[in-house]
Structure 1
Amino acid sequence: MPKMRAKLQLNSITKYTGSEQLNFNAVAASRYPEDGSDEDNTYAKFSPSAKVEIMVANPELIGKFTVGEKYYVDFTPAE
């Protein structure tokens, strides 16, 4: 299987005692430059829809993510 990189944007964080749930969607915009120069345009073209929810319980990561920020997520086969 080939490797895949997705570009996701954090849409919301639900906080719990000792953990938080991060909710991501694929990057998208209502408009992109006509010349296609916006990198998000490239990702949206090939992965137009995605939803990822991650429950984080690692104390080192809680509170480190910000709604609205964009992240690359790499998928590689687990051996």
Structure 2
Amino acid sequence: MLPAVDRWGWIDAYRSMHRSSLSAVISAVALLLDGPEPAPDPGPAAAAVQASPRRQMTREEEERILKRADELTARVEVILREFDAGR
């Protein structure tokens, strides 16, 4: 079925793999087939987008975002306290 590979990685095209090696390969293939479908290759367009420089966030923007996150966290805490008190 598959060519033999010795412990040093040499391939022998005239001998097949051992039965135990074949069963391990078949089990691995079965796991791959039962698993989730692999994501498609994004192609060259995605590589060009990733290569573009990222916009840097200013300190003021970061502070605004963190302040808004703190406000939302406080609101969620109030909602959870009200929910817990209503039980």
Q: TM-score range by the shorter chain?
A: under 0.3
| Higher RCO (CA 8 Å, separation ≥ 6 residues) | 1
TM-score normalized with structure 1 length = 0.18
Structure with higher Rg: it is 2
Give the structure with the higher percent helix: 2
Give the structure with the higher percent strand: 1
TM-score normalized with structure 2 length = 0.17
